[in-house]
């Protein structure tokens, strides 16, 4: 296992060599960027301290007429009350991000038939450039081939360890999931992801992403982002990651629903290994 310093160097190298933000084109949009997965757990105690500090700073800041919190009232200025992928403010890739999940059952952060015989569990960080590669270039194929027809259900686990915006950014995903729009939101975020630790994922940017999700009530979404429940949901993911000894993102586990899930991404990032694991699990279901 690499040290925390080494892991940061690996992520920085990945970000430095990655192309500009990828626009969603489904499978085959561009060749994947091979990269080692980043080290995630720096110790349970340290993680709890980081979460407490970040949330205290974020929720304690703001104020004034714009309102306090991760996303302020002024962050919604000029945005539609209800998200619309066709609006002028919607980010590039919004129509594709919405159409990918259209007609597929979605409840919270579970996508697909809840009775599907195979479960795919995916730990991601909103700032992780390798997660972006998987979401943009590989997940659409998985959704179309395995999830849309009821073979597999996908459970998204927004983890956070790269920086403060990992913690605040995932709250936006949880908030969208309250309206069963979490997968559209996460996809559109990754389609427009910028450089890790660059400070790009502000409250305003999170709101702009939300405005491109069809049917998402932005006022309700903002309230959910700022609510304590979104922070509690994040802590539950952190506990699960520690329990399952997750050490980097993306980490994908596959197995029978209700049974033992096995890590499918391997010691290095390998999307082909995920497909192999899904094929084996579906064949044995």
Predicted local confidence at residue 268, as pLDDT: 83
**Beta carbons of 210 and 176 less than 8 angstroms apart:** yes
pLDDT score of 92: 87
Does the pLDDT value for residue 23 go beyond 80?
Answer: no
How much is the pLDDT for 67?
A: 52
pLDDT band at 210 (very low <50, low <70, confident <90, very high): very high
116-126 pLDDT, tens per residue? 999 999 999 99
pLDDT in tens, 213-264: 999 999 999 999 999 999 999 999 999 999 999 989 999 999 999 999 999 9
Distances from the Cα of 272 to the Cα of 101, 112, 254, 269, 279, angstroms:
22, 21, 13, 9, 11
Average pLDDT over residues 57-76: 62
- Counting every residue written for the chain, the total comes to 285
Q: Which long-range contacts (CB under 8 A, 24 or more apart) does 267-271 make?
A: 268/34, 268/35, 268/36, 268/37, 269/34, 269/35, 269/36, 269/37, 269/130, 269/133, 269/134, 271/32, 271/134, 271/137, 271/138
Report residue 47 as tokens.
């993680």
Q: Which helix or strand (DSSP H or E) is residue 275 part of?
A: helix 271-284
Which tokens belong to 100?
A: 């990918």
Q: What is the pLDDT of residues 156-205, one digit of tens each?
A: 999 999 999 999 999 999 999 999 999 999 999 999 999 999 999 999 99
* Superfamily of segment(s) 44-284: Glutaredoxin (3.40.30.10)
Residue 267 has pLDDT above 80, yes or no: no
Question: What is the rounded distance in angstroms from the CA atom of residue 192 to the CA atom of residue 177?
Answer: 19
Of 66 and 97, more confident: 97
pLDDT of 212 over the 60 cut: yes
Q: How far apart are CA 200 and CA 209, in angstroms?
A: 12
Residue of 204, 196, 186 whose CA lies nearest to 66: 204
- 105 and 10 Cβ atoms separated by less than 8 Å: no
pLDDT band of residue 60 (cuts 50, 70, 90) is very low
Q: Any idea what DSSP says for residue 110? A: E
pLDDT tens readout for residues 71-116: 999 999 999 999 999 988 999 899 999 999 999 999 999 999 999 9
pTM given for the model: 0.79
Which of 231, 247, 233 is closest to 51 using CA atoms? 231
């Amino acid at each position: 296992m690499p040290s925390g310093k080494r892991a940061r160097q690996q992520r920085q190298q990945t970000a430095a060599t990655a192309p500009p933000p990828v626009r969603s084109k489904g499978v085959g949009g561009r060749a994947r960027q091979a990269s080692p997965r980043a080290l995630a757990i720096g110790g349970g105690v340290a993680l709890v301290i980081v979460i407490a500090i970040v949330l205290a700073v974020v929720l304690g800041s703001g104020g004034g007429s714009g309102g306090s919190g991760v996303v302020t009232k002024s962050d919604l200025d000029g945005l539609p009350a209800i998200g619309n992928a066709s609006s002028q403010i919607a980010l590039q890739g919004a129509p594709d991000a919405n159409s990918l999940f259209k007609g597929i059952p979605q409840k919270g952060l579970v996508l697909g038939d809840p009775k599907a015989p195979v479960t795919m569990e995916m730990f991601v960080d909103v700032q992780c450039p390798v997660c972006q590669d998987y979401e943009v270039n590989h997940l659409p194929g998985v959704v179309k081939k395995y999830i849309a027809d009821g073979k597999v259900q996908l459970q998204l686990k927004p983890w956070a360890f790269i920086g403060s915006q990992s913690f605040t950014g995932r709250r936006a995903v949880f908030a969208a999931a309250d309206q069963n729009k979490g997968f559209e939101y996460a996809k559109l975020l990754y389609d427009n992801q910028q450089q890790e630790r660059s400070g790009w994922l502000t409250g305003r940017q999170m709101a702009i992403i939300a405005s491109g999700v069809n049917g998402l009530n932005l006022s309700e979404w903002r309230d959910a982002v700022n609510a304590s429940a979104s922070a509690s949901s994040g802590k539950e993911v952190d506990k699960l990651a520690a329990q399952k000894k997750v050490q980097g993102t993306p980490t994908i586990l596959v197995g029978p629903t209700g049974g033992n899930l096995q890590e499918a991404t391997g010691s290095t990032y390998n999307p082909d290994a995920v497909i192999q694991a899904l094929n084996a699990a579906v064949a044995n279901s």
